[in-house]
Chains A and B, each alone.
Chain A
Amino acid sequence: MIRLPLVLLFSAALFSIGVYGVLARRNAVMVLMAIELMLNAVNVNLVGFSQLWRDLAGQVFALFVIAVAAAEVGIGLAIVLLIYRNRETIDLSEVSLLKW
């Protein structure tokens, strides 16, 4: 039996790694992968608390998060492809048309 605080600390570490990735990386695909990392950390938390409270709502919610993440990746990667096709780059610092 894993103690819940260990699980929470693990997911906190995973989430922070994801935050670093989103902020520091400029490759759009890498940023999307870092977002996946953060969503996974959230899922670990949900499943951990679902076990603590013996309530399956946490697991159901984690399932929904996975489904939404799948949709998000599909759209996100399509947008990345579109950006690459139009601008020949996926460097996020060069996608600055809407930046003031």
Chain B
Amino acid sequence: MSADQVAFLVLAPISVGAGIAMLLQRNAVHAALLLVVNLVTVGIFYLMLAAPFLFAVQIIVYAGAIMVLFLFVIMLLGVDRAEPLEEPIRFQRTAAVLLGVGILAELVTAVRAGVGFRALGPAAFAETGADTAALARALFRSYVLPFEATSVLLIVAAVAAMVLARRRPAPATAEPEGVVDAEEAAPEEVGA
């Protein structure tokens, strides 16, 4: 058994376990930290699957930036809010478990039919030049247009997030008790 395989067999249960623990976690901060564990292990899988650049992107973008965003919002919304246990839809959790297991069974069947569990592993990718330079060549030669479209998407998303999350100025009729009060009152008026 190669070192890669040992590492996979050690990390895969950790990754799946972190995913399951994340969903069973009541505390959102703990769940976010478990998701970080999951993302880091997935990043290591990228490394083992001959995608070193994606490993770096996974750590920087996912485990770094996106998780900080999640934690920021969790902190903004208050960390000590417990999710109620009763189900608004009857048997919601049971149905979710059934659907999850069903999709898992379906995917396993598809893998079995498509690739076969005993298929030989692909030969190492390294000698064909699957390094970051090759990825850059592919990205900037064959996929320039999608790449530029992605940059437009990110700009639009950033602007939209700022516009959406912007606090509207307090209405002029608000009582001049202080800026904080006026800002606190504004959302309630919108909600009502």
Contact A64 B51 (CB under 8 A): no
Number of B residues whose C-beta is below 8 Å from A?
90
Contact B92 A23 (CB under 8 A): yes
Contact B42 A44 (CB under 8 A): yes
Q: Mark each residue of chain B from 157 to 171: 1 if its CB lies under 8 Å from any CB of chain A, else 0.
A: 110111011010000
Interface residues on A, range: 35 or more
Residues of chain A from 44 to 74 with CB closer than 8 A to chain B in the complex: 44, 47-48, 50-52, 54, 56-57, 59-60, 62-64, 66-74
User: Smallest CB-CB separation from B42: which chain A residue?
Assistant: A40
Complex partner residue of B138 from A14, A15, A60, A70, CB under 8 angstroms: A60
User: Smallest CB-CB separation from A80: which chain B residue?
Assistant: B73
Contact B19 A48 (CB under 8 A): no
Give chain B's interface residues, CB within 8 Å of chain A: 2, 4-5, 8, 12, 15-16, 19-20, 22-23, 28, 31-32, 35, 38-39, 42, 45-46, 48-51, 53-54, 57-58, 61-62, 65-66, 69-70, 73-74, 76-77, 83-84, 88-89, 92-93, 95-97, 99-101, 103-104, 107-108, 111, 115-125, 128, 130, 134-135, 138-139, 142-143, 146, 150, 153-154, 156-158, 160-162, 164-165, 167, 187, 190-191
